[in-house]
């Protein structure tokens, strides 16, 4: 069997760059070398180059220009968190070039990356979620309306990940500075009502055309909420499988499948929740979730009985299936 040339695309010029590089390293390590020729392609300041050699990518066809000749890719494994992958920009580019890529298409990626738009879409599907308001840079803010949702409030960039720029607001005086902080990361900010419960995260992937919902992870942050340090600097306890009775586990996994399929996701995604009074309140959908060795999705894959290599095989096969189906 001929090995596929796979470009693991990583980096980017956003706050999540370091996490993307860690995720790509995990994918490179665990993609089966017997099936794939692996190339790590890093985006830095608008230029795509191969890690190690510095060889540049020709943006006319996304071929790698090595001294020994051009390398053309059979598949793009997207591992950029945030812009320009998680928001769908690169997916549109690769679609035009006719190169298969992992994960969701450009529309679904853009929709899920826009937290408020995703919530608005899922509301019609009966998915429980906290009340929220969208603020846009340069537009007037009705502070009293925001405070009318009650305190505490969460303030977060609308289109960003990894909990950059997120604040928990406990007093009216903290609200305006928290909004200003979020505006440092995005031109839109979401102010969201506080949910007092336990946070859970549930991975999902498509394998052989079927939706496979992975075991659930319970998140116990050492800080007040699941912020950047809790996610990436071991300042949280992540329990997989989660400590849930069977009925709640089935309820959460059924809701994850419903959301994944309602959004039209492909490949590997992660849905985050807070459990309040027996209901799993939707927080956000992550269509390019973190893939460091300690990340939630690898934990869940192991609990499901898969190696990371088997998980990545499923993601690759799903991307190729999209092409075969036309």
Query: What are the residue numbers of the active site?
Result: 16, 162, 232, 270, 272, 284, 286, 290
> Cα 230 to the chain's mean position, in Å?
16
Q: Rounded to an integer, what distance in angstroms lies between the CA atom of residue 271 and that of residue 203?
A: 6
Strands (E), the chain: 4-11, 36-44, 47-50, 57-58, 63-66, 69-71, 75-78, 132-136, 153-157, 167-169, 188-193, 198-207, 210-221, 236-239, 269-276, 279-286
Q: Are 178 and 152 in contact (CB under 8 A)?
A: no
Q: Are 62 and 74 in contact (CB under 8 A)?
A: no
Which alpha helices (DSSP H) does 221-245 contain, by range? 228-232
End-to-end CA distance of the chain: 23
* Rg, Å, the chain Cα set: 20
Please choose, from the candidates 269, 118, 115, 121, the residue with its C-alpha nearest in 3D space to the C-alpha of residue 186. Answer: 115
String of DSSP letters for 12-53: -SSTTHHHHHHHHHHHHHHS-TTTEEEEEEEEETTEEEETTT
Q: For residue 324, count other CB atoms closer than 10 A to its CB.
A: 7
Q: Rounded to an integer, what distance in angstroms lies between the CA atom of residue 282 and that of residue 256?
A: 9
- The three-state secondary structure class of 232 is helix
- The three-state secondary structure class of 10 is strand
Q: Which residue has the tokens 């609200």?
A: 175
């Amino acid at each position: 069997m001929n090995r596929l040339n796979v470009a693991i695309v990583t980096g980017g010029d956003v706050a999540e760059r370091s996490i993307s590089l860690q995720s790509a390293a995990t994918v490179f390590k665990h993609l089966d070398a017997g099936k794939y020729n692996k190339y790590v392609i890093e985006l830095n300041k608008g230029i795509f180059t191969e890690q190690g050699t510095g060889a540049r990518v020709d943006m006319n066809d996304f071929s790698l220009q090595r001294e020994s000749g051009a390398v053309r890719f059979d598949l793009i494994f997207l591992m950029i968190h945030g812009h320009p992958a998680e928001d769908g920009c690169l997916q549109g580019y690769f679609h035009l070039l006719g190169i298969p890529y992992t994960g969701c298409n450009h529309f679904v990626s853009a929709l899920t990356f826009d937290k408020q738009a995703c919530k608005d879409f899922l509301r019609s599907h009966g998915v429980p979620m906290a009340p929220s308001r969208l603020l846009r840079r340069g537009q007037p803010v009705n502070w009293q309306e925001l405070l009318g949702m009650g305190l505490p409030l969460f303030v977060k960039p609308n289109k960003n990940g990894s909990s950059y720029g997120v604040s928990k607001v406990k007093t009216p005086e903290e609200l305006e500075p928290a909004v200003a902080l979020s505006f440092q990361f995005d031109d839109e900010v979401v102010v969201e009502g506080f949910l007092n419960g336990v946070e859970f995260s549930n991975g999902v992937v498509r394998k052989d055309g079927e939706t496979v919902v992975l075991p659930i992870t319970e998140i116990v942050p050492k800080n007040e909420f699941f912020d950047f340090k809790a996610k990436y600097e071991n300042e949280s306890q992540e329990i997989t499988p989660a400590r849930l009775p069977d009925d709640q586990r089935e309820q959460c996994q059924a809701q994850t499948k419903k959301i994944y399929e309602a959004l039209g996701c492909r490949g590997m995604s992660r849905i985050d929740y807070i459990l309040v009074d027996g209901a799993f309140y939707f927080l956000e959908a992550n269509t390019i979730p973190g893939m460091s060795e300690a990340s939630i999705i690898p934990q869940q894959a192991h609990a499901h009985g898969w190696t990371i290599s088997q998980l990545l095989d499923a993601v690759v096969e799903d991307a190729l299936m999209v092409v075969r189906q036309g």
